[in-house]
Amino acid sequence: MRFLCLPGAFGSIEKFKVQLAPLVNELESDKSAEFHFVQGPYEVDPPKGYEEFFGGAPYYRFIVAEGDQADKVDVLERIRDFPQLETPEMTMRELMTYGIARTDKSAAYTLRYLYNIVEKEGPFDGIVGYSEGATIAATLLLHEQMLHEEYGRIPTFKCALFFGGWPPVKPTLDGLVLSDESDLMIDVPTCHIIGSLDPYLHGNMALYNVCDPDSAYIFDHAKGHTLPRDKKMVKELGDTVRKMIVEVNGGVSPY
C-alpha cells in the first residue's frame, strides 16, 4: 500500500521523514507499505518565539490567511490558549468564532496542488497527515467524496492515518465539518493516532467524530502533540495499520 504523506504546519518533507521514520521503517520492513512525502505549497515564517520549536528553515504550510485578512488572527495564534469546552465540537466552534482569518482561497489552491501531485506522482492507496496535514488530508477525502457523488470521479484514497489532526474543512471550503451540525462523514477506514496528553485532544476527537465509526481506529500513544517513537509503541501501531490495510483489501492480507 502506497501512502501520500503530509506534514504539519511549518513542517517540510525532510522534517516529516524524520518524524515518521520509526513507523516507515516498521511498515517497510515487511513491505506492508511505502511512503511518498510532500510539503505545503506556501513557504512561510514561523510565529515569533517558535523558531526553535519548528526546527530550521524552510517552513511550509498548506493553509494560510488571505491578503485582505491581515487584521485577523491565524488560528495557530489562538491555540496558545486552546479552549476546553464540554464537547470537542463546542471547543472547535469557540476556537474558530472570533476574528479568525479566512483560508478558503488557500485551501482551494492546496487541493488543486495535491490533485496535481496525485496525477503526477500517483497512484496512491492511502494518505497520512500530521496536525495541519491531517486536517487538509481529511478535507481532501471529503472533497473526493463530493466529486464522486456529483461527477462519478473514482476516489483515489482508500484509507487514512491521522496524527493529531483537527476536523476537515467542508468540501465547499466555508467552515469546519463538525459532527453535531453536519451529516458529512469520511467513509474510508481511518486510524487516529492521538496522545491523551495532547493539549489539542479535542481537535483530534472532533476529527474522529466525522469518520465512519465502524471503520475508524483510535491508537493512543499516551503522550502529547507528537508522533510515537518508542519501539514497542511503534510496533503496536504498525500492527494496527496492518489490520486497516487488510480491511481495505477486503480481508485479504497483502503480505
Identify any residues that bridge with 130 across adjacent strands, giving them in sequence order: 163
CA 74 – CA 91 distance, rounded (Å): 17
From residue 225, alpha-carbon distances to 53, 130, 165, 255 in Å are 12, 10, 9, 32
Catalytic residue among 12, 32, 106, 131: 131
- For 252, phi then psi, to 5°, come to -100, 125
In sequence order, the 6+-apart residues with CB closer than 8 A to the CB of 142 are 168, 170, 171, 177, 184, 186
**Among candidate residues 197, 236, 198, the one with its CA nearest the CA of residue 217:** 236
CA 32 – CA 254 distance, rounded (Å): 7
Annotation marks residue 106 as catalytic: no
Show the cell assigned to 51.
523558531
> Could you give the residue numbers annotated as active site?
131
